[in-house]
Structure 1
Amino acid sequence: MVINNSNSQNQALLCAYINLTSEIQVAKIPENPEFEKVIFPYEKLLFKASEGSGLNIFIEVAGKTSLFASIPCQQLQSHAPIKSNR
């Protein structure tokens, strides 16, 4: 799934994140309050984000939502062609 999140005039980056845990995660980009995606275990999320954006990953622990990771989108930038399993 590719999600377009290029609302700013900055250069958009194609980014990829893989949930390598056995837990459901929620991805949010603070610079775009409309961006909130559920990522299932071992699922890959492809999205476009502005160059200075960050991706926040949340998990549920003991009934409360906790920040699991905060990753600059530049670190998630995908340089390789995207292969489809279809």
Structure 2
Amino acid sequence: MPQIFDLIPTESCDRILCCYVNATGKIQVVRITNIPNWYFERVVFPGQRLLFESPRAGQLEVHSGLMASAILSDTIPCTDFQVQEGEDHFSPLLLSANGG
């Protein structure tokens, strides 16, 4: 079950379960900012797997680099990270987001 600190707006009822893996050696900050009345931001450490819910229209921004000078590395549709529920296992999309 994903941790949800900021509830998804009720008008965004088409939610998907997603998994993002930081396959780089750097700390990343991931954000979803394109959903009105909702803001999602998490720090993802190298090798960490982040399980989260998002409206289907969500766009995950991946920021890499030093915290004081993090740059937007990529913006990816959350549907690319969708987990197929009901399966015994899943293979999340591994992205280096320009970090190698």
Take 1:9 and 1:21, find their aligned partners in 2: how far apart are those partners? 31
Structure 2 counterparts to residues 17-56 of structure 1, below 5 A: 17-30=20-33, 31=35, 32-33=38-39, 35-56=40-61
In the alignment of these two chains, the number of paired residues is 82
Name the Cα RMSD after superposition: 2.2
Query: In structure 1, the residue corresponding to 2:70 is in which secondary structure?
Result: strand
Per-residue deviation, residues 15-62 of structure 1 (Å, max 9, x unmatched): 0000000000001001232x110000000000000010111010125x
TM-score, with structure 1 as normaliser:
0.80
Aligned partner of 1:59 in structure 2 is 64
How far apart in 2 are the matches of 1:52 and 1:17?
A: 16
SS of 1:75's partner is helix
- Aligned partners of 1:9 and 1:36: how far apart in 2? 18
SS in 1 for 2:53: strand
Give the Cα separation in 1 of the matches to 2:88 and 2:72: 28
Report the Cα distance in structure 2 between the residues aligned to 1:3 and 1:50, rounded to whole angstroms. 15
Q: Which residue of structure 2 lines up, in the alignment, with residue 72 of structure 1?
A: 77
In structure 2, the partner of 1:3 is 3
Which has more strand, going by share of residues? 1
Residues 20 and 82 of structure 1: is their aligned pair in 2 closer, same or farther, counting only changes over 3 Å? farther
Where structure 1 has 5 or more consecutive residues not aligned to the other structure, the ranges are: none
